[in-house]
Amino acid sequence: MGLGCMGMSQSYGPADEAESIATLHRAIELGCTFLDTAEVYGPFTNEDLLGRALAGKRDQVMIATKFGFNFEGGKSHGTNSRPEHIREAIDASLKRLRTDHIDLLYQHRVDRHVPIEDVAGTVSDLVKQGKVRFFGLSEASVTNIRRAHAVHPVSALQSEYSLWERNLERDVIPVLHELKIGLVPFSPLGRGFLTGEVKRAEEYPEDDFRRNDPRYQGANYDANVKAAQAVRDIALGLHATPGQIALAWLLHKGDHVVPIPGTKRRKYLEENVAAAAITLDDAKMKALDDALAPEKISGPRYNEKMMGLIDR
Ligand SMILES: NC(=O)c1ccc[n+]([C@@H]2O[C@H](COP(=O)([O-])OP(=O)(O)OC[C@H]3O[C@@H](n4cnc5c(N)ncnc54)[C@H](OP(=O)(O)O)[C@@H]3O)[C@@H](O)[C@H]2O)c1
C-alpha cells in the first residue's frame, strides 16, 4: 500500500501542514513508503512539501512523481510532453523534492501532440543519466502503453481503478499482465465515496473536486450510495471499515496492484494501511464485484473537459 499525497495540497478541503508532515513520517514508520506526488499538485507545492518533510529520510522512501502539463499564472494549462519541457520539468521536480533522483516518473497525461516514443526516449535518457529509476504512464491507452513499452520498459500504469470504477478491466489489465507492468490504482477510495463518509456534491466547498464529480451529483449520488451498501455490509461483518474493504478488494486483485489511498491525516493513514491484513474470500470478492458492477454505478468519473484529457 502506498500513500497518495495530492490532498495535502489540493482537491479535498484545507490541509494542515504539520499534520500532513506528521502523516508522511507516520507512513514511513508503518512501512508505507511508496509516496505519490506530481508537479501539478498545488501546482508545485506538493513536491516542495515532500522535499521538506523527507529531509534526512530520502533513502527510506520511493518517490513517484509526474510531469506533462504547461503552467500559466500558477495554474496548469494543457498537456506538454515535449522532450525539452520534460527535461526542464524533471530538473525542477528534483529541486523541489530536494533529491538527485526520482524513483518512478510518470507521464501524467498522454500528449496528443507528441509521439509517445519521443516521451519514452526522453525518459530513457533521464534513466541513463541517473535522474530517474523507473518509467510510468497515467491514464494511457493500450496502444500507447504498447508503443511506449517498446522504447523503454514501462514499470507501472497509474490510472483510476476501484470498486466503483472498473473501466480498466476489459482491455487494459490484460495488457498489463501480458507485459508484466504494475498497476497503481489512483482514487482507490472513490475520492472518499467508498469510505461511506460522503456528502452530496453541492455540500462540498467550491474548490473541492467532488463538487464537480458527476458521481456525487443528484440521482447519480443516490444510485451510487445504494450500490455501495454492499461494501458497508461486508465491512460490518468483518469488523472493518468500508474504506478498508475497498482497499482489500484491490489488493486481492493481484500482487502487481499497489493502491495509493490519499489522505492528509494520520488517523486515516493508519486505518488504510491496516487494510492490508484483511482477507476477503471468493464469495465476498464476487459479492463486491457484482454489487458495484459498472451497470450499477451512475455517472462518469470526470466532467467532459477532464475526460477529454484521457487517452482511450
Ligand atoms: N494520476 C492521476 O491522474 C491521479 C488523479 C487523482 C489522484 N491521483 C493520486 O492518487 C492518490 C489517491 O487518490 P485520491 O486522493 O484522489 O482519492 P482517494 O484515495 O480515493 O480518496 C481520498 C479521499 O478519501 C479520504 N479518506 C482517505 N482515507 C480515509 C479513511 N480511512 N476514512 C475516511 N476518509 C478517508 C481523504 O480524506 P482527507 O483528505 O481528509 O484525508 C480524501 O478526501 C492521490 O493522492 C494522488 O496522489 C492521481
Which pLDDT belongs to residue 308?
87
Nearest in space to 248 (alpha carbons), one of 225, 281, 270: 281
Please check whether residue 109 is in contact with residue 302, taking contact to mean a CB–CB distance below 8 angstroms. no
| Candidates 12, 41, 204, 216; catalytic one | 41
Residues 141, 147: Cα–Cα separation, whole Å = 10
Residues 40, 252: Cα–Cα separation, whole Å = 31
305: pLDDT confidence band, cut at 50, 70 and 90? Answer: confident
Which pLDDT belongs to residue 52?
98
16: pLDDT confidence band, cut at 50, 70 and 90? Answer: very high
Can you read off the three cell numbers belonging to residue 214? 458527476
Q: Whose CA is nearest to atom 23 of ligand 1?
A: 192
| pLDDT higher than threshold 90 for residue 22 | yes
Q: How long a stretch of residues is the chain?
A: 312
| pLDDT higher than threshold 90 for residue 29 | yes
Is there a catalytic annotation at residue 216?
Answer: no
Helix axes 116-128, 142-151, angle to 10 degrees: 40
pLDDT digits (tens, 9 = 90+) for 175-199: 999 999 999 999 999 999 999 999 9
Instruction: Say which residue the cell 489512483 belongs to.
Output: 186
Which pLDDT belongs to residue 301?
94
Can you read off the three cell numbers belonging to residue 108? 501524467
Architecture of domain 3-191+249-278: Alpha-Beta Barrel (3.20)
Q: How far is the CA of 187 from the centre of ligand 1 (A)?
A: 5
Mean of pLDDT values over 124-152:
98
Can you read off the three cell numbers belonging to residue 289? 464485484
pLDDT digits (tens, 9 = 90+) for 53-97: 999 999 999 999 999 999 998 899 899 999 999 999 999 999 999
Question: Before 43, cis peptide (omega within 30)?
Answer: yes
Residues 292, 240: Cα–Cα separation, whole Å = 19
| pLDDT higher than threshold 90 for residue 312 | no
Average pLDDT of the chain? Answer: 97
Q: Whose CA is nearest to atom 29 of ligand 1?
A: 268
Provide the residue ranges of all domains of the chain, joining segments of one domain with +.
Answer: 3-191+249-278
